[in-house]
Chains A and B, each alone.
Chain A
């Protein structure tokens, strides 16, 4: 059974309403997205800023209320639950945020931050057990347990991200949504955090939804990859397969934008013109057609459905084979 199964999830944000009644406009941040995550699996979610990947990540655990759709976690639809039911299940799924400077309370010590999760879910019987548990968690994420009484500003960016991971781990979740957890870090520290996440997955059997914009990072850590554009999944499949033979022109462009160290590598760079279009007025037909290097007449009128091109490999492109 899948750990998480998202079915036809939509998140629409209303924007300003016209004064005299006109139709209400909305941003379709996530538009009819379905996918699943198996226990212990890492699913990568890639796309540019503004494509809706962060919204999707948050809506998947109801940190943002979805407009419609089902979110089946361990067999139960959490989208249909009330607050009390949801809260009881919150410790099964956790989140790690992008900015290790913004996501920790600057006035609370590391042990306060991690201990709060333990207290809320009543996971430790007494103060001694609480202290031991916090020390064990810090050791798990590669921090010195004697630093538990320190404040966030005493740590570097990479260490703060480790604190964020320890906080998420405290409640023994089955799923962690990682929202750009390494984008703000130096490459050397980025490698440390990626290795740590992989070690924790092996040790605890945690599944990740790993949201990022750098395909090289996503490919390295993920089993499967979802490529997102303007609120929709445009390609999904096994990580290596997608990177070896991408079917959607957008995936190809993303791959070609990944920086390569070797100056002699024979790679054709596909530069995408412009930015992601406005999700309030998405282009008609295929949402990617205005930036697509291979678009045809039909792409401007017909929305391409997500279809299977190989076992386990889907793409939403009229021209993909």
Chain B
């Protein structure tokens, strides 16, 4: 049994005629100890999907219209608030994008980590355990850092504290929602290395959410690419990064500037992600797709299984592989 299994999840915001479906039929599964990357632009529904794992979306406005979120076989969407409290920051811990905004500015970091310990492992709510956690996330001189306030730490150090806090409950699943987006590239590299390290040491599963495909390769076992509330491509990370099949995944990879190659012009994806409630008919990506045909605007494609354990929501994927092979002799 997988640790996490999301089945056909549907989430709407608002109600009645103005309801906007932000997540539309997402299915994911994550085995214990593995890493899954959820990739997509802002507004693709990836954070909403991630927040639903511990039912963190305020409801209303959010409504879980359909589907299941099975955590160790139990449906989170049907849990009582008492059960949920055990899950939140317990079996599932979150690390968010802006560590500065997630930490409480008026408490010392030691006290904040201890609070998390107090909820989930009261017996271990000691300075010694806090110091062990700080050491685990690579904070130098943890004994004196204990008494620091968040503003006395740099962004990278703050993110390490957030990770320490998330680890306090010994979670089985760590959800990292854009953990490095607000950080410098050098610090970003440190945090990614730390996450890879911790996963190995502690054997926890990681759900990493990012818009930057560059950080996926170091960490992910599997990748799911989201667009406009749906998964458009899913499969083993290496295969997707090296041979993306969906035009959207290809465009995302091409839009990253690369050090190794010199190009005159970056391949940007024209336009912007459509808003929930205003998704185009047919394939939701077709207005921005460079390979769109007449049929793309008429019929909504299904997520099809393709060889080697992959899934693609584009009926033209065969053709797209052919053109890719032409343009990029690997």
Contacts and interface: CB of A to CB of B under 8 A. Distances in A.
Contacts of A257: 185-186, 188-189
A259 B154 contact: no
A284 interface: no
A275 B157 contact: yes
A216 to B, nearest CB: 4
A263 B253 contact: no
Interface stretch (B5-13, B53-61, B259-267): B259-267
A140 interface: no
B242 A191 contact: no
A243 interface: yes
B252 interface: yes
B215 A259 contact: yes
A216 B184 CA distance: 13
Interface of A is mostly: helix
Interface string B39-50: 001100000000
A282 to B, nearest CB: 16
A53 B89 CA distance: 38
B255 A262 contact: no
A261 B185 contact: no
A194 B265 CA distance: 9
B41 A213 contact: no
B313 to A, nearest CB: 18
Contact of A261 (B154, B188, B253): B253
Interface string B237-252: 1100110000000011
Contacts of A159: 272
B155 A255 contact: no
A49 B267 CA distance: 28
Contacts of A243: 259
Interface string B258-284: 111011011111101000000000000
A41 B296 CA distance: 43
Nearest to B153: A275
Interface string A190-215: 11101100100000000000000111
Contact of B217 (A187, A191, A215, A263): A263
A219 interface: yes
Contact of B265 (A195, A253, A260, A264): A195
B242 A217 contact: no
A82 interface: no
Nearest to A256: B189
A156 interface: yes
Interface stretch (B99-107, B206-214, B319-327): B206-214
Interface of B: 41-42, 140, 154-157, 184-190, 193, 211-218, 237-238, 241-242, 251-253, 255-260, 262-263, 265-270, 272
Interface of A: 48-50, 156-159, 186-192, 194-195, 198, 213-217, 219-220, 240, 243, 253-265, 269, 271-272, 274-275
28 contacts: A48-B184, A48-B186, A49-B155, A156-B272, A186-B42, A187-B41, A187-B252, A187-B255, A188-B41, A188-B211, A188-B255, A189-B272, A191-B269, A194-B268, A195-B265, A216-B257, A220-B257, A240-B262, A254-B186, A258-B185, A259-B215, A259-B256, A263-B237, A263-B242, A265-B260, A271-B190, A274-B140, A275-B187
